């Protein structure tokens, strides 16, 4: 069954890179949306929940960690939404804290199609 994807990153270039890398990974999404920060992502999720969110950590207005907290606390319609954080920061403490807040996975930049395949495949069925 085809899935929906939301890419959250304040860089339009990075959003395009993520989209391309997801395509290269062979994963099939029937709907892909974009948001420039956590607040914008929350608004999109309220209107239409998605299956998977790929979200940057450092963003203006609302960062990725705050977005995860808000989704888990205030958006029951997104209870099944899988949130994968994508960031350059590779500190284990940071990753652990993000996972504790309710994220489902973490991908460090730079990433490869294989990495996306590995992290997203479990959520595709």
Q: Which residues bind another protein (CB under 8 A)?
A: 11-14, 16-17, 20-21, 24, 87-91, 108-112, 114
Q: Which is nearer to another protein, 11 or 48 (CB)?
A: 11
Q: State the nearest-atom distance from the C-beta of 63 to another protein, in Å.
A: 13
Non-local (6+) Cβ contacts of 13 within 8 A are none
Element (H, E) at 64: helix 64-74
Q: Which is nearer to another protein, 20 or 46 (CB)?
A: 20
Q: State the nearest-atom distance from the C-beta of 116 to another protein, in Å.
A: 10
Q: State the nearest-atom distance from the C-beta of 110 to another protein, in Å.
A: 4
- Overall size of the chain counted in residues: 125
CB half-sphere exposure, 115, CA atoms < 13 A? 14
Are the C-beta atoms of 29 and 2 separated by less than 8 Å?
yes
Q: Which is nearer to another protein, 36 or 102 (CB)?
A: 36
Q: State the nearest-atom distance from the C-beta of 14 to another protein, in Å.
A: 5
Q: What are phi and psi of 112, to 5 degrees?
A: -125, 165
């Amino acid at each position: 069954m085809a899935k929906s994807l939301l890419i959250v990153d304040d860089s339009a270039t990075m959003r395009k890179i993520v989209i391309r890398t997801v395509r290269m990974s062979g994963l099939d999404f029937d709907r892909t949306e974009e948001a420039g920060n956590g607040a914008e992502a929350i608004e999109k999720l309220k209107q239409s929940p998605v299956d998977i969110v790929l979200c940057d950590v450092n963003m203006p207005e609302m960062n990725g960690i705050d977005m995860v907290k808000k989704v888990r606390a205030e958006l029951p319609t997104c209870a099944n939404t899988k949130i994968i954080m994508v960031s350059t920061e590779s500190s284990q403490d940071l990753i652990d804290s993000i996972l504790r807040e309710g994220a489902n996975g973490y991908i460090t930049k730079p990433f490869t199609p294989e990495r996306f395949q590995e992290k997203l495949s479990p959520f595709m069925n």
